[in-house]
Each structure stands twice: as C-alpha cells, then as structure tokens.
Amino acid sequence: MTPLLGMMASGATGSKQSSYESIASATGTGASGTITFSSIPATYKHLQLRGTSQESSTSNYAILRPNNDSSTANYTYHSIYGDGSAVTADGYITGLSGALSVNGTDIGQNSDTTGVGIVDIIDYASTTKYKTFRSITGYDNNGSGLIFLISSLWKDTTAISSLTIVAEAGNFTTKTTFALYGIKG
C-alpha cells in the first residue's frame, strides 16, 4: 500500500503515516460460509480488513458482524456503485444482519473471478461511539464488473473484540482470503 493510500484508508491527515500491524489472516475452506477473527486486542486506533472473496452460491457480499451481532435493527448502510456505464446509489436504515463489506462473487459467474476489498473499521475499541465501516470493493468479470463505495454503521457502543465474516449465501471457496490489520493512531 502506498503511503498516501494508507493515510487515506486510515483517515490520517497531514504527513504522519499510520503504522499497520498484522493481527491475523484466514483462508476459506470451501466447507464453511463463516470466518471469525476473535480476541482482537483493543490497542489500536482503527482496524483494516483486506480481502478477496469468492462464494460457492449465487451471492454478492461478505457480511461483517462485529462481536457476532446479527440483529437486523443494529445496522444501516449507504453505497454508490458503478459498472463503467451507469452509477447507482442505495441504502438501508434497518434489515441487514451485518455491515456490508467485500463484494464477493459466486463461482457461477466465472470460476476465476473473486471480489476484492478494503474495509476500514473506525474507532473499533471505543465504548462511547457507534462504529463506522468504510469500504471500497469490487470485481471484474472479463469486463463486466462493479466497483462499490460503501459506508455502514453498527449502532452499538460496545468495543469490537471479534469480527465474524459471513458469506451472504453458500460457502467461502479456497480462493477467499482475509487479513486483519491494526492501525496505530
């Protein structure tokens, strides 16, 4: 990651570059639609999740559940996305079972296509704020793909100590990889 992109992704300003430290990584097994990072230390300012995602069933998203919270009343999001010829925006106030993140692709689209994304989790250890997830994600399927900018909100002030990533449908294939980083403030 270039210094400027790293600063933008972490919300840093000025010439100070944030320090990224690897916390953990995981790969899909093909037999499960869930990946969990547990015992996340509260010693960082923000978290960043980087990933490639491919799902075994027709699906679009890998869904993030902080502290494995699946309550549909606790999440909102808005997004803007485009396919090279049109731009669309949408959003939900309630009804999601987690924060939207990496746009995965299903193997029915193309067995070589995976979604990619970077998700910033802002002030994850705070006990006085709701948590914001910012992501840039997308995929290319031989010229017909999408790119997304998504902002999700977890309406809970609990510090995030675990992060569960759930396939919207099906299982994560062995082409799925997620890496979690802590960002020093």
94-144 confidence digits (pLDDT tens):
777 888 777 766 566 666 678 889 999 999 999 999 999 999 988 887 777
What are the respective helix, strand and coil percentages of the chain, to the nearest 5? 5, 50, 50
| Mean model confidence pLDDT for the chain | 85
Write out the two tokens for 165.
Answer: 């990533």
69-97 confidence digits (pLDDT tens):
999 999 998 989 898 889 999 888 877 78
33-70 confidence digits (pLDDT tens):
999 999 999 999 999 999 988 888 776 678 899 999 99
Strand partners, 116: 52, 138
Q: Is the pTM of this model over 0.75?
A: yes
If DSSP codes are grouped into helix, strand and coil, which group holds residue 10?
A: helix
